């Protein structure tokens, strides 16, 4: 029996996208094994989701690094070293609320770091993408938004797109309605994107 490819997932919050990945691996929809979950927030509920699934967890703190007089790059280097110990086939950023520098990416020369972003390519890069899309819709600038899974490069949210999916915005929507619709779509796309990315890596 072939050994399954391995995934390390990075989170910052409740971990609903992580749960989608966990469920997909358990059901055989995602042919991989999650070998670790790393959070930059100690109270992130996603850590509990990982523990319930028997997945090892790690917690890292940028604040502690800064309190010790260390830099953001030092933190990124540490996170990269931490993940590299697991030798993952794929690293998935699933709601990881920290922009990673080239210092982190230098640990992954195989270009195997993937991010889920709640916007279409080139539309709303960076933070608060859903809020910015909703505001643009209200101003009549767009008729829909979307989500994408892409490779992580130093240029934020500009890496090669693996999968993307438009998400409609309705005239009756509140911001919360749009957030709910996007998150539901994310739970499906992150699983499909991870499998496509793993298939691409296997073909190299």
Residues noted as catalytic: 117
Contact yes or no for 76/101 (Cβ under 8 A): yes
List the one residue out of 79, 123, 87 whose CA is nearest residue 105. Answer: 79
Report d(CA 183, CA 16) in Å as an integer. 8
Q: Please give the C-alpha separations between residue 189 and each of 39, 97, 139, 149, 157, in angstroms, as whole numbers.
A: 21, 19, 28, 7, 16
List the one residue out of 161, 180, 151, 156 whose CA is nearest residue 120. Answer: 161
Look at residue 59 and give its three-state secondary structure. Answer: strand
- Laid out side by side, the sheet with 113-117 consists of 57-59, 33-39, 6-11, 90-93, 113-117, 144-151, 161-168
Q: 123-147 burial by CB neighbour count: b if 16+ within 10 A, else e?
A: bbeeeebbebbbebbeeeebeebbb
């Amino acid at each position: 029996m072939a050994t399954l490819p391995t995934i390390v997932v990075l989170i910052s919050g409740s971990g609903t996208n992580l749960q989608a990945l966990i469920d997909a691996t358990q059901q055989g929809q995602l042919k991989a094994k999650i070998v670790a979950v790393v959070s930059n927030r100690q109270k992130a509920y996603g850590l509990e989701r990982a523990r319930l699934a028997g997945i090892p967890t790690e917690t890292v703190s940028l604040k502690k690094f800064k309190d010790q007089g260390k830099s953001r790059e030092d933190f990124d280097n540490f996170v990269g070293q931490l993940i590299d110990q697991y030798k993952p086939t794929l690293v998935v950023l699933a709601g990881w609320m920290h922009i990673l520098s080239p210092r982190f990416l230098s640990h992954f020369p195989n270009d195997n770091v993937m991010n889920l972003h709640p916007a279409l390519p080139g539309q709303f890069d960076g933070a608060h993408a859903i809020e910015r899309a909703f505001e643009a819709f209200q101003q009549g600038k767009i008729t829909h938004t979307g989500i994408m899974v892409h490779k992580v490069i130093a240029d934020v949210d500009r890496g090669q797109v693996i999968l993307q999916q438009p998400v409609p915005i309705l005239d009756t929507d509140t911001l919360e309605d749009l957030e709910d619709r996007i998150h539901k779509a994310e739970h499906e796309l992150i699983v499909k994107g991870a499998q496509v990315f793993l298939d691409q890596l296997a073909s190299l």
